[in-house]
Structure 1
Amino acid sequence: MVMPLGAIFIGFISPLLVWLIFRERSRLVDLQGRHALNWTISYAIYWIGAWILTSILIGYLIMAALIIFDLVVLIIAAVKASDRQAWRYPLAIQFFNTPGR
């Protein structure tokens, strides 16, 4: 649960640190860490795209939607993690290879 909730406050640093420290101890932590890192990197890319689009004003709407979407998926991921389930974030680009797809 630390990875998604920490990502709300400190971005990709929380999933990265927890994943690097605990990935060898648990397959679930390894998988959830990969999913969380994929999402935080994807979110940063989407944010940069929205920032570029602020020049035509639509970027501000996209940024607002991204913030709301990010909070929702991080809360869902935290709930799934508390149930010991690895949840694949919607719209996450697969940078780290995750089994099951």
Structure 2
Amino acid sequence: MSYSGQFQGQGVPLSPSEEKTWSMLAHVGVFVAAWFAMGFLCPLAIWLIFRYRSDFVRRHALESLNFQISLLIYGVVAAILVLITFGLGVLIVLPLVAIGAVAAIVVIVRATMAASDGRDYRYPFTLRFVK
């Protein structure tokens, strides 16, 4: 009995049902991690664990990871804008953050639904750092 595939980072392929489940969790799991401003942790963990076992899960986890990294960058830029304008930027940033938060929830739900249907999804306004 040979376990060489598992030690080379491949492992046992996932069933279609498992693929959909883990792909959905890559998107919806960010809501749990987002409470700690680390929404990228869930898709990162799923990508690291399943990237060699399922191309479908890898694509969804990467898309979610890149979206979460993009949101983090946009948040840092917003905070810097508020700081360099001595707080006046908050008049612009707060409405944008509110709109962005609602939009982020909508696209995360859409991505989760696409994963549950077995379809790929591309987040809008996403910087794709991880490939």
**TM-score scaled by length of structure 2:** 0.69
2:99 corresponds to: 65
1:75 corresponds to: 109
Q: Which amino acid aligns with 1:28?
A: F
2:16 corresponds to: none
- Which of 18, 22, 25 is equivalent to 1:2? 25
CA separation in 2, counterparts of 1:37 and 1:83?
20
Return the index of the structure with the highest Cα Rg.
Answer: 2
2:75 corresponds to: 47
Q: Give the fraction of aligned pairs with identical amino acids, expressed as a percent.
A: 37
Runs of 4+ in 1 over 6 A off after TM superposition: none
1:15 aligned to 2:29? no
Q: Which amino acid aligns with 1:82?
A: S
Unaligned stretches of 5+ residues in structure 2 = 1-23, 34-38
**Structure having greater relative contact order (Cα 8 Å, sep ≥ 6):** 1
1:24 corresponds to: 52
SS in 2 for 1:93: coil
Question: Per residue, is there more helix in 1 or in 2?
Answer: 1
CA separation in 2, counterparts of 1:49 and 1:35?
21
Contact 1:73 1:89 in 2 (8 A): yes
**CA displacement at 1:52 relative to structure 2:** 2.8
Q: Which amino acid aligns with 1:89?
A: Y
Contact 1:38 1:96 in 2 (8 A): yes
Deviations 1:32-68 (A, max 9, x none): 1111111000011111122233422211111111211
Contact 1:47 1:66 in 2 (8 A): no
Contact 1:38 1:94 in 2 (8 A): yes
